Amino acid sequence: MGMERRGLVAYVEAQIERDIALGRLHPSGQFGSEAKLARRYEVCRGTIREALRRLAARGLVVQRPGRKTRAVPLDESLTLENLGLALHDASNPDARWLLEGYFSLKRQVLVELLADCCARASDLDLDRLGSTCYQLQDAARWESGETCAQAEFELLRHAARVAARPGHVLLVQSLQRAFLGCAAQLLPLMGGDALREWAFRAMAILHERDVQALQHELP
């Protein structure tokens, strides 16, 4: 598949995803025929077929032989990596609720990992984590939201490895993929004084190995 074709498939996939999220389908959730969808999105049937296949791989639609393709209800299809599905309608109260939940989970995971590191990591590993915290606070002060996000996920990955928590390594991967999937909504919320102060305080607490302070002072 050529780059132009891949780009068109991705575009149609995003358009269908948006229509699912905004409730623009038939109440049954069923799609029309490939020919009908091709006319609606002004592409060939092969592009529709590939876009639906990709949506099925993400768990957003169900395809069964001899039956019409059906959209999976949002409350069943929504996962971390599909978080962007819930953010298409910014006016929906659930969108803000899920957005706040995402940031809360990311911070909760980071605090839990850093607490483990305080309790068991070597001085060298803590020094390296402290250096990563410094890079995060520096990014929060001077750099873009994208750079801040990269620094924070680097801290999450490093902490998960130092804490020897393989399950959290996987969770961090999912958190980052969720972020990348809806970066347009999330990047403007990264950085600033609050993140800089948080990272600076985390750096000091790691140096002191103060698990209680980490758990109670770093929301």
Ranges of each domain in the chain: 3-77, 83-217
Question: What average pLDDT score do residues 136-140 get?
Answer: 95
Token digits of residue 207: 């140096």
Each residue's pLDDT tens digit, 159-169: 999 999 999 99
Which residue from 129, 203, 188, 212 is spatially nearest to 163, judged by alpha carbons? 129
pLDDT reading at 111 higher than 60: yes
Amino acid residing at 213: A
Give the model's confidence band at 99: pLDDT under 50 very low, under 70 low, under 90 confident, else very high.
confident
pLDDT at 4: 66
Separation of alpha carbons 205 and 219, rounded Å = 13
If we measure between CA atoms, which residue out of 140, 119, 103 comes closest to residue 208?
119
Mean pLDDT of the chain: 91
Query: Cα–Cα distance between 113 and 129 in angstroms, integer?
Result: 11
Cα–Cα separations (whole angstroms), residue 162 to 115, 124, 130, 173: 11, 11, 12, 16
pLDDT of residue 95: 82
Q: Which helix (H) or strand (E) holds 120?
A: helix 93-120
Domain topology for 83-217: Four Helix Bundle (Hemerythrin (Met), subunit A) (1.20.120)
d(CA 36, CA 109): 45
Q: Which of residues 193 and 94 earns the better pLDDT score?
A: 193
CATH topology of domain 3-77: Arc Repressor Mutant, subunit A (1.10.10)
pLDDT tops 70 at residue 28: yes
Long-range residue pairs from 148-156, CB within 8 A, at least 24 positions apart, any chain: 148/190, 148/191, 148/195, 149/179, 149/183, 149/186, 149/187, 149/190, 152/106, 152/110, 152/190, 152/195, 153/179, 155/110, 155/129, 156/106, 156/109, 156/110, 156/113
Q: Which residues contact 125 (CB under 8 A, 6 or more apart)?
A: 117, 162
pTM: 0.83
pLDDT of residue 107: 95
CA angle 127–133–139, rounded 5-degree value: 140
User: Is residue 2 scored above 60 in pLDDT?
Assistant: no
Task: Calculate what percentage of the chain has a pLDDT beyond 70.
Answer: 98
73: which DSSP letter? P
Asked if residues 43 and 8 have their Cβ atoms less than 8 Å apart, the reply is yes
C-beta atoms surrounding 100 within 10 Å? 10
